[in-house]
Structure 1
Amino acid sequence: MFFISSVFVTYLIYLIIKNQERMEENKNLTIENFRNRYNALKNQTDPHFLFNSLNSLNGLIGYDDERAHEYVMQLSSVFRYTIQEHSVVSLSDELEFTESYIYLMKIRYGDAFSVNIQIPAGHPEYYILPFAIQTLVENAVKHNIVSLQKPLNLIIKMTEDETIMVENNLQPRQDVRDGNGLGLSNLNERYWLMFRENINMQTDDSLFRVEIPLIKNLEKYSDKIIN
């Protein structure tokens, strides 16, 4: 009886260890699959961005070399940010990147494009997904008319509910063929994968608004954060 009991206990311990190993393996596979899927979503960038940026730069060279130099600096800042591997960034870093991106758009569209950032300098240090605010700016430019006759005006602000709202006047383009809505769907899926949160979209006859969550505490998402 002692021998049988010992064998049973040993086998039970063996099963427990194997079960723990399988659980750990499944957890690692889940995390790896999450990271691969997340990175694939993050890397879906607009293929025309580089072409348009170089076109704008070419128009400045020899015409306004000082602005061309500043354009190169801002473009370098944008690309430096895009090659970083962090899955979560501070709101300050995302705003700095977005301001560089807005500068490039201002060179391209001039007075036909304006952005009013209403986020106080002393705001608490929240966290956000990389490219979140920039995606909303890019989406507004891509899907709306931007001209001197019909200027596109954006407002970026922090709400009382601790979200970031990006709002633009609505003047839809009729010639957008590719990627209609993919930017926002991509962003929403990234938020759901990382934080189990959704972005909020609202529209009426004249305005389009998107709200994205801000994150205070990253500790409970530590198993998903890619540094």
Structure 2
Amino acid sequence: MRKIEDEGSLSRRDVVLAAAGLSLSCFAPTVAFAGEEAEEGKALSGEECVEVYADSTLSSEDMDLLLQVKAEQEAQRIIAEAEAAFDVENARASTTSRPTYSTVYGSPKPANTGSKEVAGQGRWGTRMEPGSGKGSIHAAFSGGGTMNVTVAFPTPFGSLGVSLPLPKKTTAALAGVSVTVPDDGHWYKMYLNAMYTVKPFVVYEKKNGKKSVYRRSCIRTFNGHSVARKKIK
């Protein structure tokens, strides 16, 4: 794993973000928190878990820092939207006290899809005629639908159901992965386990002296995979 060193006047946070190369993704799969009830009419399910694309060679320390910075950015965005909405709704009510907000961040935990059959392989998969030479099965990390994985966090985050993308067969090895198919006349399929890291956070709102949950959310990043080849017949 690669550890980022400070460079000149740049802070460590700046260097890690620059190494990541990308900001918050527009792709935000839905998540649901189990065992929670709505407070003050706010639904606590169907919140957003924002995906961050990061360099998989980052050290665990730098990856944790990246997730923390991205979680702070997302929390700031949520709070800014809440404050703007309040100002619009209460533009003529000068006596209405503006709510205040605070955020609690949790430690990251892994979330894996488990070994799943790559979509699009057909009933039997791929077969190479004896003596014809080895073949390959290629797959992308998404495009094969989604699955819901529950990640248990301590209070106040609760159990978080994160929707993770599933792999799909492709015609060429682009940015995905491959397995070799031997030329033995048997049928084979490819299975892939995608591994993610999820960091939860909770934004609280304090209004009229009462503090309640305003938004529960998380940051998610892809951090590895494993593949397997299975003989079907």
TM-score, normalised via structure 2 length? 0.22
Q: For the pair shown, which has the larger CA radius of gyration, 1 or 2?
A: 1
More helix by share: 1
User: TM-score, length-normalised on structure 1?
Assistant: 0.22
- Greater strand content: 2
